[in-house]
Structure 1
């Protein structure tokens, strides 16, 4: 636990939501089970192995000591979550959690819920993906000089990508997620940021909604950020291919696809090999770097965020492009 304690002893007052310690990346031997996140004004410590009460007491002492230095006179708020075999047990260890609990990232506001479930409303490892979307849309405000960009946000969750896209000048964002609860929080996130127009919200199963999705296209940016394995929703090993086949028809000329995969067992080749086979007209541009704190001793295990580009309007079609999605 020493590396985690060292991080606590030297951490500064956070302004934005962010991860401060990522033992899961394997860079701190003996601390692989631990993560430390800031959802101001609350700290969230997570363990992926059983923890003794004495260890929690040690963390309490360390957090209290550092908090007294960086925020003297203010109460310490921290939450502990233990995740075992797909289940999460969450405890409020000290202080309180605001309700509603709103955090910021790069000037945007998001509602989070750190006392409920494993997903807290904002995926901190996707911060650079959101930064890329903002930067890309600001740099390409009028595709082909004709209009503001249109964005498709698949597996939208609480619609953080949509908030960023609209702030960066997108004309329209279509958000699709089968969880009506997540979509409802996404709508709240838009209101928090004063975004009253431009977004639509479909609480539908993506694979039964292609008619509506296609009619709203084509899109200048398609974001695909699915779960790796969620029973009844999406299993990457069999379902990602179904999305890849549709990308060429969904994208406008020179549009981009942002493909995301957060699986320690499926590497970069899983995405790249299938894209070469199933969407050969799309050109790989780059892998978006993860936030530095999420560095992994094996980057193939970490979050993969890849950018692909569609061909220009005047590009000749290839034989492979004739195939239709199934």
Structure 2
């Protein structure tokens, strides 16, 4: 398992980036492993079983590479996602507490030792940058907000107001700390509710100029994409102002790009496809249908719908 030849010759200038993405099936023999740089720590994750010999080999390769690119003490968090529940251990120095990382000039709190979701999904970096560029003076709704990274980027882009909704109140609490760290104390709401029981409240708070939908693909009791995405889409347009925009995301390898586009066509015909956002180059995929899908849609205004009908 030759990981080290795929690693950069020096540490990236940004403190928050994927260094190796094996899950895109572009590197034979390394399909189940990833390595992230979350300064000042590394996060190695394996989604496949590793023998003791394979684990020792990979750990040694990372240590040798680390010594070649920096004289800093090694801080390596090793996460076994093949185990249930995931197992996490630290090699060398522990990550700082609190642990703040920077992405595109903004700061986010992480907890690498907590478990599988540490606070920021690196594959969504292009989506966050897009939201920053398209939020100026807009009212934004961030569904499945998690730790509210989209909201921080929206506020950085000049959003007038952002509403964050997520069932996890601890995640929203972390999101609030992210906003405060970046100086965004006003104009942000945090709703710890079940989306499907909250549409009435959201309608009263809306309509919104931009809605971000970034759900888990399969989370029992929260969201199962094949069942719940159609439910959401049937009511999504009523939350978006005419001419408003939506960013629809899906990270389920078993569901291809055509699946999501067909669901939107079937259940939210008011939305018009604009384009698919490119994923970060640090997340190569041999089959784009298995990777993260991020689609930009726009709600047609009434005048446009009438003209298309004739």
TM-score higher than 0.5 here? yes
Report the equivalent of 1:324: none
SS in 2 for 1:297: coil
- For the structure 1 residues 8 and 94, does the alpha-carbon distance in structure 2 shift closer, same or farther, using more than 3 Å as the test? farther
Q: 1:201 & 1:9 partners in 2: Cα distance? A: 39
Report the equivalent of 1:202: 191
| Aligned residues of 2:141 and 2:164 also touching (Cα < 8 A) | yes
Alpha-carbon distance, 1:84 to partner: 1.7
Report the equivalent of 1:238: 227
| Aligned residues of 2:8 and 2:19 also touching (Cα < 8 A) | no
Alpha-carbon distance, 1:32 to partner: 0.5
| Aligned residues of 1:14 and 1:38 also touching (Cα < 8 A) | no
Report the equivalent of 1:95: 93
Q: Note the 1:241-260 alignment, pairs <5 A.
A: 241-260=230-249
Report the equivalent of 1:76: 74
Provide Cα deviations, 1:49-86, integer angstroms capped at 9, x if missing partner. Answer: 222333333333333333333322x2110011111265
Alpha-carbon distance, 1:13 to partner: 4.0
- For the structure 1 residues 255 and 69, does the alpha-carbon distance in structure 2 shift closer, same or farther, using more than 3 Å as the test? same
Provide Cα deviations, 1:155-201, integer angstroms capped at 9, x if missing partner. Answer: 00000000000010001000000001111100010011011101100
Report the equivalent of 1:50: 49
Q: Note the 1:107-256 alignment, pairs <5 A.
A: 107-137=105-135, 141=136, 148-256=137-245
Q: 1:221 & 1:31 partners in 2: Cα distance? A: 38
Q: 1:56 & 1:301 partners in 2: Cα distance? A: 26
Report the equivalent of 2:253: 264
| Aligned residues of 2:210 and 2:245 also touching (Cα < 8 A) | yes
Q: 2:109 & 2:272 partners in 1: Cα distance? A: 36
Q: Note the 1:272-283 alignment, pairs <5 A.
A: 272-283=261-272
Q: 1:85 & 1:92 partners in 2: Cα distance? A: 16
Gaps of 5+ in 2: none
Q: 2:284 & 2:8 partners in 1: Cα distance? A: 21
Report the equivalent of 2:35: 36
Report the equivalent of 2:5: 6
| Aligned residues of 2:36 and 2:44 also touching (Cα < 8 A) | yes
Q: 2:103 & 2:152 partners in 1: Cα distance? A: 11
| Aligned residues of 2:74 and 2:91 also touching (Cα < 8 A) | no
SS in 2 for 1:300: helix
Q: 1:222 & 1:130 partners in 2: Cα distance? A: 13
Report the equivalent of 1:144: none
Alpha-carbon distance, 1:313 to partner: 5.0
Gaps of 5+ in 1: 142-147, 321-326
- How many positions carry a matched residue from both structures? 309
Q: 1:252 & 1:100 partners in 2: Cα distance? A: 39
Report the equivalent of 2:18: 19
Q: 2:299 & 2:191 partners in 1: Cα distance? A: 25
Alpha-carbon distance, 1:16 to partner: 2.5
- For the structure 1 residues 44 and 219, does the alpha-carbon distance in structure 2 shift closer, same or farther, using more than 3 Å as the test? same
Q: Note the 1:291-310 alignment, pairs <5 A.
A: 291-310=280-299
SS in 1 for 2:26: coil
| Aligned residues of 2:9 and 2:69 also touching (Cα < 8 A) | no
Q: 2:226 & 2:307 partners in 1: Cα distance? A: 27
SS in 1 for 2:88: strand
Q: Which moved more, 1:307-316 or 1:53-62?
A: 53-62
Q: Normalising by the residue count of structure 2, what TM-score does the alignment of the two structures yield?
A: 0.95
| Aligned residues of 1:14 and 1:40 also touching (Cα < 8 A) | no
